[in-house]
Amino acid sequence: MTAQHEIRCNRNAGIRTVRHDYMVNHILTKIDHHRHPRPVDKAHGNLPSSNKLEKPDIEFQYKNATYVLDVTFAVEANICNAFKGKILKYGGTYSDNRVILLVLRYNGTVYEKSMNMLTTFLPEITDSFLSKHCCLAVARANEKAKLHYTSLITNALHDETIAIKHGQKRDRHATGRRAPRAPPGLEGVGARQEGETQGNAGSGGLGTTADN
């Protein structure tokens, strides 16, 4: 599977979520508690509603102002566009440049412009910390992918086996089909008619002794 396919394929949405959430959760625990870090979600009532695209991951305080952190993974060939895309995404609620854009590579390294922002606003989030947990997040996602696709293959083989069994059963019924049953109330009618025909043929069409 190419990295580009891994990013874009709808079937991998759950796998990407595992990797992303793993990183967000570990970054959240690393931020100094004096900065009052917390997730951005409905449960905390701090999810922006002005623009559905503006969904940062972590909120924290810096010099008595509220900042947010947005975490994403990108392949090397698309990492510049990923960073620019994040900038364009935040044009309303956070237009005062209070968004820290953290773009990570799959090999555990951080995009240079993202690292510059972290150095200024979140110095406790070091390069070594991100590198370690980024690799762990990728490994966790890969394990999830392995289980996911193994399950898909197993289910497909099971469905195929059931389909084959049903096909074989239909073939047996087709080759060994029984004669259709007579409608209720007409059982044996055909047999009686056949017996009467054979009886008349045996008597040669003559009447009984009494008739003579």
Q: What is the pLDDT of residues 180-211, one digit of tens each?
A: 555 555 455 454 555 554 555 454 444 444 44
| 177 is a domain residue | no
Q: What is the pLDDT of residues 112-154, one digit of tens each?
A: 999 999 999 999 999 889 988 888 888 887 787 777 677 777 7
Torsion 171-176-182-184 (CA) sign: negative
Work out how many domains the chain is built from and give that number.
1
| 204 is a domain residue | no
Q: Which domain holds residue 126?
A: 3-150
| 156 is a domain residue | no
Token output for 208? 């009984």
Q: What is the dihedral of CA 169, 173, 176, 180, to 10 degrees?
A: 160
Q: What is the pLDDT of residues 90-111, one digit of tens each?
A: 866 666 678 999 999 888 889 9
Return the half-sphere exposure (C-beta side, CA atoms, 13 A cut-off) of residue 134. Answer: 21
Q: What is the pLDDT of residues 154-175, one digit of tens each?
A: 777 777 777 777 766 666 666 6
DSSP secondary structure, 103-125, as one string: EE-TTS-B-HHHHHHHHHH-TTS
| 186 is a domain residue | no
- The more confidently predicted of residues 95 and 1 is 95
Task: Please state the rounded mean pLDDT for residues 15-28.
Answer: 87
| 117 is a domain residue | yes
Residue 69: helix, strand or coil by DSSP? strand
Give all strands of the β-sheet with 58-62 in edge-to-edge order. Answer: 38-39, 58-62, 65-73, 99-104
| 159 is a domain residue | no
The domain that holds 35 is classified in CATH as 3.40.91
Residue 191: helix, strand or coil by DSSP? helix
| 191 is a domain residue | no
| 188 is a domain residue | no
